[in-house]
Homo-oligomer: A and B are copies of this chain.
Amino acid sequence: MELSERQKSIIEIVKENEPISGDKIAEHLGLTKPTLRSDLAVLTMTGVLDARPKVGYIYSGLNFEPLLHDQLFETKISELMTSSIIVFPKTSILDATTSLFMYDSGSLYVTDENTGDLLGLVSRKDLLRSLLNNQDNELSVAVIMTRMPNIIVATPEMTILEAGSLIMKHEVDSLPVVEEKGSKKVIGKISKTRIMQHFIMMGSERNV
């Protein structure tokens, strides 16, 4: 559902002149009140305008409710991604684990030292497994990392719904965000934490 141009004009008129009667709104638009009846019904029923008897229409301050779906699910990863923690293949398991704690991150991305291309991914779980198996902490992360092409990546153009579906489907904690489809240049990270935060913040804002 999208608002018509006329409905958007009505909202602007109310914002500037509230409280304002239906007759006055019609006057502003050079139309008759009956012509506006459906528009005013839609705007009051969707909560954008408040209709107060004997006072007039008031702007409720609410966004247009049906836009909620788009704001929630169609937001691009480019607007949501956070910075990623990068290590190199020769970084030791010990140093990698230290970085993980230092940045309180759930996973580290392993890139080629020269090209910057994504080579692998090391998660908290990978490190835990390695330490549990008494693997030498001085071994390089290259030994334990999940390797390309077995890593699911996101692109900045993906929606939160697409990236979230991939995270769920592949049961991972985050996706490296690469420049574009087919690229191996990591430009950020989209995590479960960030996705949940987006939804909870959207929900909280609307309850204020």
> Residues of A at under 8 Å CB distance from B?
1, 37-39, 41-42, 45-47, 65-66, 68-69, 72-73, 94, 97-98, 100-101, 104, 124-125, 127-129, 131-132, 137, 161, 164-165, 167-168, 171, 192-193, 195-197, 199-200, 203-204, 206-207
Contacts and interface: CB of A to CB of B under 8 A. Distances in A.
B196 A164 contact: yes
A66 B69 contact: no
Contacts of A196: 164, 167-168, 192, 195-196, 199
Nearest to A101: B129
A107 to B, nearest CB: 12
B200 A69 contact: no
How many subunits of this chain does the assembly comprise?
A: 2
Given A47-B66, A192-B192, 20 more contacts: A1-B45, A1-B46, A1-B65, A37-B37, A39-B41, A41-B41, A46-B66, A65-B66, A65-B69, A68-B68, A69-B203, A72-B72, A73-B203, A124-B125, A131-B131, A131-B132, A164-B203, A167-B196, A168-B197, A195-B200
11 contacts: A37-B37, A46-B46, A73-B203, A73-B206, A104-B171, A128-B131, A161-B203, A161-B207, A164-B199, A168-B197, A192-B192
Contacts of A97: 128, 132
Chief secondary structure at chain A's binding surface = helix
B161 A200 contact: yes
A206 B204 CA distance: 21
A66 B66 CA distance: 6
B38 A204 contact: no
A47 B203 contact: no
Nearest to A164: B200
A1 B47 contact: yes
